[in-house]
């Protein structure tokens, strides 16, 4: 029997949506989106980001779904099945590499969330002021051992879920964690908006200032869209290989895109009012979340320390869980590849991936402290991996995926996947094709060229 025939499926439609949304919603929304918005001038960046999600994100996500569900294989295997012997398979190899690289540095920040969960749990934040949070974050992230150990713990947790498998591990964890995360985010939005001076933060988030838009802003917004939607590396195509025949690909893409965007915007609404109300600059970079947020709880519930305690603890647990549903998906891309293409058992494949990521992750972790002077192209190792993957590999992968489904893949296959064999009405089919054939690849190409300063 072919491997694809006894391949497992997600058990339900909602399970499939939540697993994909679990991959998309993560540190990219709650940690990266706010600091990218801060670094790139605020509301104008968000508008360009939204345009990228609509023009490129959703159609490319559908393409990944088509590729994954039709081939029922890992991201590199998919091209072997759909385009045997052709160079298209390099899209898959690049995706696996991108997944591996992202997992290695993402786990560093994911590890930070565990330290903050512990601190919140032992009541370590009580009575701290804005400046204390800044100094303690710097001391922690520069420490050579602690963040590294947390990164290892995080990768081991990810490993444990992967080893449990697709249904019991990936689907079940997403079904429990995603709704919890959503409710908590809503509560936090209310807390943050009630802070004095919150309106300044909201203005920053909602009033576009187009004078701040440079070519780099376009590239950052596009990179953020791909990163946040988990696109361009075959992560969602790997998940789609576990979708059953009834899953409506268009609807699933729309749901995932909406959930992901809502969470990102809400994270902005939580963080900016909070940052402005205590005078922290919105372009504080990667530390923004870890400095402003613990402070929000102290400020919002200063009079009722128990509430401050409960909310900070819940928030960091959920942040860690959101990160976990994303690291699981990156790990799965690489594990499914090693398992199916190199013909080793799933457990052994997972061991290789976890070990490799720990080794590479150590460099990223140390780049906040002892290796902070080791620069590649002016960037620390961590920043370099982030820029290389999100600004180059993911958009390039996305462009090639769009071209593959638009120009190479048999039109009938694309139609059958999107309409579930003709059972669904797909009034937007022509529009989808137009976008993946022309709009999305041209838009990505223009942003690349623009960044090179040629336009
Ligand atoms: N989308 C995830 C997030 O927002 C990150 C991610 C990127 C996950 C690429 C999988 C693949 O945190």
Domains along the chain?
A: 13-383 (1.10.4160.10)
Mean pLDDT over 187-197 rounds to: 84
pLDDT (0 to 100) of residue 187: 85
Query: Which atom of ligand 1 lies nearest, measured to the CA of 33?
Result: 4
Residue 302 confidence (pLDDT) above 80: no
Tell me, in angstroms, the distance from the centre of ligand 1 to residue 47's CA. Answer: 20
pLDDT (0 to 100) of residue 15: 78
Mean pLDDT over 426-443 rounds to: 96
d(CA 102, CA 251) in angstroms, rounded, equals: 27
- pLDDT, averaged across the chain: 91
CA 435 and chain centroid, separation: 23
d(CA 421, CA 140) in angstroms, rounded, equals: 54
CB 236 within 8 A of CB 64: yes
% of the chain with per-residue pLDDT over 70 = 98
The better pLDDT of the pair 309, 145 is held by: 145
| Closest Cα to atom 7 of ligand 1 | 230
Is 21 close to ligand 1, i.e. is its CB under 6 Å away?
no
pLDDT digits (tens, 9 = 90+) for 334-381: 999 999 999 999 999 999 999 999 999 999 999 999 999 999 999 999
| Closest Cα to atom 6 of ligand 1 | 230
Banded model confidence at residue 298, pLDDT cuts 50, 70, 90: confident
Tell me, in angstroms, the distance from the centre of ligand 1 to residue 335's CA. Answer: 16
pLDDT digits (tens, 9 = 90+) for 46-88: 999 999 999 999 999 999 999 999 999 999 999 999 999 999 9
Query: Which atom of ligand 1 lies nearest, measured to the CA of 323?
Result: 12
Residue 455 confidence (pLDDT) above 70: no
Is 235 close to ligand 1, i.e. is its CB under 6 Å away?
yes
Is 24 close to ligand 1, i.e. is its CB under 6 Å away?
yes
* Helix extents (H) in 83-124: 89-121
The better pLDDT of the pair 94, 321 is held by: 94
pLDDT (0 to 100) of residue 196: 82
Tell me, in angstroms, the distance from the centre of ligand 1 to residue 437's CA. Answer: 25
Q: What secondary structure letter does DSSP report for 410?
A: -
* Helix extents (H) in 301-345: 305-341
pLDDT (0 to 100) of residue 8: 72
Ligand 1 mutation pick, 27, 103, 330, 388, max ligand atoms within 8 A of CB: 330
Is 227 close to ligand 1, i.e. is its CB under 6 Å away?
yes
Is 330 close to ligand 1, i.e. is its CB under 6 Å away?
yes
Ligand 1 mutation pick, 96, 231, 238, 329, max ligand atoms within 8 A of CB: 329
pLDDT (0 to 100) of residue 454: 58
Tell me, in angstroms, the distance from the centre of ligand 1 to residue 299's CA. Answer: 31
Residue 188 confidence (pLDDT) above 80: yes
The better pLDDT of the pair 137, 173 is held by: 137
pLDDT digits (tens, 9 = 90+) for 209-239: 888 888 889 999 999 999 999 999 999 999 9
pLDDT (0 to 100) of residue 443: 94
Neighbours of 343 (CB within 10 A): 9
pLDDT (0 to 100) of residue 1: 37
């Amino acid at each position: 029997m072919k491997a694809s025939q006894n391949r497992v499926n997600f058990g339900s439609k909602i399970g499939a949506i939540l697993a994909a949304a679990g991959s998309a919603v993560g540190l990219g929304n709650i940690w990266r989106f706010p600091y990218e918005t801060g670094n790139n001038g605020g509301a104008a960046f968000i508008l360009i980001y939204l345009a990228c999600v609509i023009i490129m994100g959703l159609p490319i996500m559908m393409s990944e779904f088509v590729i994954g569900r039709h081939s029922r294989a890992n991201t590199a295997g998919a091209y072997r099945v759909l385009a045997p012997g052709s160079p298209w398979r390099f899209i898959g190899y690049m995706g696996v590499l991108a997944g591996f690289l992202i997992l290695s540095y993402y786990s560093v920040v994911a590890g930070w969330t565990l330290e903050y969960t512990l601190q919140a749990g032992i009541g370590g934040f009580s009575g701290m002021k804005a400046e204390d949070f800044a100094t303690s974050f710097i001391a922690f992230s520069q420490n050579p051992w602690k963040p590294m150990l947390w990164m290892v713990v995080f990768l081991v947790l990810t490993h444990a879920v992967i080893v449990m498998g697709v249904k019991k591990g990936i689907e079940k964890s997403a079904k429990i964690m995603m709704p919890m995360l959503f409710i908590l985010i809503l509560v936090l939005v209310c807390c943050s908006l009630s802070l004095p001076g919150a309106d300044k933060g909201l203005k920053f988030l909602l009033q576009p200032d187009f004078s701040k838009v440079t070519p780099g802003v376009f590239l950052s917004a596009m990179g953020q869209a791909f990163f946040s939607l988990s696109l361009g590396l075959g992560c969602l195509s790997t998940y789609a290989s576990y979708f059953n025949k009834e899953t409506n690909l268009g609807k699933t893409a729309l749901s995932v895109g909406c959930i992901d965007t809502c969470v990102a915007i809400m994270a902005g609404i939580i963080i900016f009012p909070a940052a402005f109300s205590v005078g922290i600059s919105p372009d504080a970079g990667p530390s923004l979340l870890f400095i402003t947020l613990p402070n929000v709880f102290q400020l919002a519930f200063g009079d009722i320390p128990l509430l401050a305690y409960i909310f900070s603890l819940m928030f960091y647990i959920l942040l860690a869980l959101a990160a976990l549903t994303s690291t699981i998906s990156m790990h799965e891309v690489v594990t499914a590849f090693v398992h199916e293409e190199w013909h080793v058992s799933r457990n052994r494949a997972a061991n290789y991936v976890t070990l490799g990521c720990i080794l590479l992750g150590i460099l990223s972790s140390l780049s906040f402290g002892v290796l902070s002077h080791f620069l590649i192209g002016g960037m620390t190792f961590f920043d370099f991996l982030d820029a290389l993957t999100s600004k180059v590999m993911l958009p390039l992968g996305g462009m090639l995926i769009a071209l593959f489904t638009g120009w190479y893949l048999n039109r009938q296959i694309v139609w059958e996947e999107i309409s579930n064999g003709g059972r669904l009405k797909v009034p937007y089919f022509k529009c989808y094709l137009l976008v993946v054939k022309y709009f999305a690849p041209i838009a990505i190409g223009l942003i690349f060229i623009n960044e090179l300063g040629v336009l």
